Chain A
Amino acid sequence: LAKTTQPISMDSYEGQEVNITCSHNNIATNDYITWYQQFPSQGPRFIIQGYKTKVTNEVASLFIPADRKSSTLSLPRVSLSDTAVYYCLVGAMDSSYKLIFGSGTRLLVRP
């Protein structure tokens, strides 16, 4: 399973756009890129998943360049409630899909 590298922490202010970049240099052809969000005392929650180019949903956008060796999670106009840990994961979406979490990026949104 491909290893990921992401910043340990980031600070932002309410209303700003936040971009968290994740490196996954040895991503395999069958691997998808998935991002999870985790609040204190809760389990991780799925945010977005993609394979290539750009994916957008009501919460975030995911940008994946052509070489797929990195990806960027974009959170538009963050609020205080977006303060959480964000995990980037890669893995094959087959019947034995197993997520390997790293340490994540701790995002702090300030008023």
Chain B
Amino acid sequence: GAGVSQTPSNKVTEKGKYVELRCDPISGHTALYWYRQSLGQGPEFLIYFQGTGAADDSGLPNDRFFAVRPEGSVSTLKIQRTERGDSAVYLCASSQGGQGNTGELFFGEGSRLTVL
């Protein structure tokens, strides 16, 4: 597709379980971002990739959260030992990045995670 694709759109899990959320960015976009959005709040930055490397992971809340982008395209956000407080919509965005950066991020529709 032409836009950022995120799967699953909805995920319900139990406390303590492991979860993976996938993001397929716009083809050719070198920059990829993960955000988390709780109800009534703006998106909260988690991590930024430029190519395959995590250029800025300062927003990851703790070591239960980890993200990879092994081939510089698809990214997976991994959450270990989920807690009820992890319940939120996880948004992925991509942009041209680098010298072609226009500052416009293209967001997916998000993955809604519910931890019971």
Contacts and interface: CB of A to CB of B under 8 A. Distances in A.
Interface string B78-116: 000000000000010101011101111111111000000
Contacts of A34: 103-104
Given A44-B107, A103-B42, A93 B101 contact: yes
Given A95-B50, A101-B42, A101-B44, A43 B101 contact: no
B82 to A, nearest CB: 22
Contact of A43 (B55, B91, B95, B102): B91
A103 B110 CA distance: 18
B33 A32 contact: no
Nearest to B103: A93
B31 interface: yes
A49 interface: yes
A35 B116 CA distance: 35
B4 A98 contact: no
B103 A32 contact: yes
Contacts, number: 67
- Give the bracket for the number of chain A residues in contact with chain B: 20 to 34
Contacts of B103: 32, 34, 49, 91, 93, 97
Interface of B: 4, 31, 33, 35, 40-45, 48, 50, 55-56, 91, 93, 95, 97-99, 101-110
Given A98-B56, A102-B42, 12 more contacts: A49-B102, A49-B104, A85-B42, A93-B103, A97-B31, A97-B95, A97-B101, A97-B103, A99-B105, A101-B42, A101-B43, A101-B44
28 contacts: A32-B103, A34-B104, A41-B109, A43-B91, A43-B107, A43-B108, A43-B109, A44-B43, A44-B107, A46-B105, A49-B102, A93-B102, A94-B101, A95-B97, A95-B101, A96-B50, A96-B55, A97-B31, A97-B95, A98-B33, A98-B45, A98-B48, A99-B43, A101-B43, A101-B44, A102-B42, A103-B40, A103-B42
